[in-house]
Chains A and B, each alone.
Chain A
């Protein structure tokens, strides 16, 4: 345990580096003046902390209507993309685990490659698909794009869980007279559930956080929370509302993570 002073110092520095912006996100949510983005008035006097952005969010005020709309759209798309990608990703993991054929080699390449491609390439290629097919971009194209990049993450998470799976349990179920479907839903799926939930949480965070891919396929006027925020003009007067909403999201995520830790030791990691 000795002579780790230097590395511990660097670790402390890294943590500070990672935490300062988060602390500022929380602090900026209490800024009294949205135009100057400052706690101080023109004469340098302290204006105090303001909770008006929070009341604005909760009263659904007109000024934050678009922001809240984009936030709910993000939640909707995140929820739908999570459910769809959990189903597709789980079947993908099952197929990759169970069979070792040439089809699975191609299948594995298809599932794995999106993980190592920069987001922007997935975004632009989907845009080009929609252009080539003459599809108008909007809600559905965003959903398709989100499912596409989430499937691989869910598949890999469930696959990791399957690696520790004892195939003899299924055999035992068959020997005891279970039908394949019964064995799958009553035996295999419950065992895989923590992996699927972890994959789903990952998919949800990725979907709700994505700005690059969405900004290619959202079309005019449809904005998720991240694309709305990134398109906000430099001196939007309601910027603190964004920070206030983010603080609430931070609390919500913290609550979810604590709950999932308490319930079943689900590992909540974002690995991208």
Chain B
């Protein structure tokens, strides 16, 4: 490759000129705002919704007993959503990768079809489906009665607790269910991409050597598509941590997550420093798993 021919157009000034638009835009509208958020956490707030003097009062307010509960709930819900998404995505991606080539592209494409409609509208459709008079609620009640009856029977407690007012809507269950629904394509796609490159003759070899199909799936297939799985986990876990619309529309007051608190503090209560502090907490809970994944990957490469 003759570098001399391109030299005049690879100069420092040329580089700066081409880099400038995106660099300056993201510096101004992404990096600097992040610094502002961090600095706002060390301010108090004023009564009229402004940002007050330098102080540590905002961080002290976060010790509020509500917050550990909300942070823990956010992490728990995100972990549950990630778990169920991956559990559904693994066999699905495997099945797609095993399809004849002609069908693969069509089925993989159809996984992305839900995105042809607006996300909010799909959540609204779920809201209608989970309506207290709907069929999903009836199924859930049937299940719940059976479960409570069994629990009572096993523990020998005399009276059944009243569960007639339990609804799926406005519960953590609804939030987990619809989150799994929304993030499932993002779990299937990276696993499928990895599974497509996987050499399925390895599984046949394992089967010939006497492994059960589940054993081969677990010991050969899953390690073989490790990178796909880890990117799927991040693709689901990160948006789940930042989830705001789904708990807002389906969780009611029973499933308030950090995202909802941030919005509430920033828009409704106009307590900007408080919202900033919560956003910082959320950023930490996203960055920590990212760093762990990055570190694990680095360590895996060394070995």
Contact = CB atoms under 8 A, between A and B. Distances in A.
Interface of A: 1, 3-4, 6-8, 10-11, 13-15, 17-22, 24-25, 28, 37, 87-89, 91-92, 94-95, 98-99, 101, 103-104, 106-107, 110-111, 113-114, 116-122, 124-129, 131-132, 144-145, 147-148, 151-152, 155, 167-168, 170-171, 174-175, 180, 205, 208-209, 211-212, 215-216, 225-226, 229-230, 239, 242-243, 246, 249-250, 253-254, 257, 268-272
B126 A209 contact: no
Given A98-B18, A128-B40, A167-B1, A7 B119 contact: no
Given A129-B33, A216-B263, A242-B121, A121 B282 contact: yes
Given A126-B33, A242-B121, A110 B184 contact: no
Nearest to A232: B124
A43 B88 CA distance: 41
Contact of B118 (A10, A113, A114, A229): A229
Contact of B37 (A11, A128, A268): A128
A103 B19 contact: yes
B34 A271 contact: no
Contacts of A147: 25, 29
Contacts of A250: 116-117
B114 A22 contact: yes
B interface: dominant SS: helix
Nearest to A252: B116
Given A148-B26, A215-B263, A243 B125 contact: yes
Interface in B228-254: 234, 238-239, 241-245, 248-249
B113 interface: yes
A4 B213 CA distance: 9
Interface string B165-207: 0000000000000000100111011000000000000000000
B54 interface: no
Contacts of B290: 116
Interface residues of B, number: 86
Q: Is the interface of A mostly helix, strand, loop or mixed?
A: helix
B155 interface: no
Given A11-B95, A215-B263, A226-B119, A99 B10 contact: yes
29 contacts: A10-B91, A15-B107, A22-B113, A24-B128, A25-B121, A37-B128, A91-B21, A95-B18, A95-B23, A99-B10, A99-B19, A111-B26, A116-B238, A118-B239, A118-B286, A125-B30, A125-B279, A126-B33, A132-B36, A147-B25, A151-B26, A167-B1, A174-B5, A212-B259, A229-B118, A230-B249, A249-B118, A253-B116, A270-B115
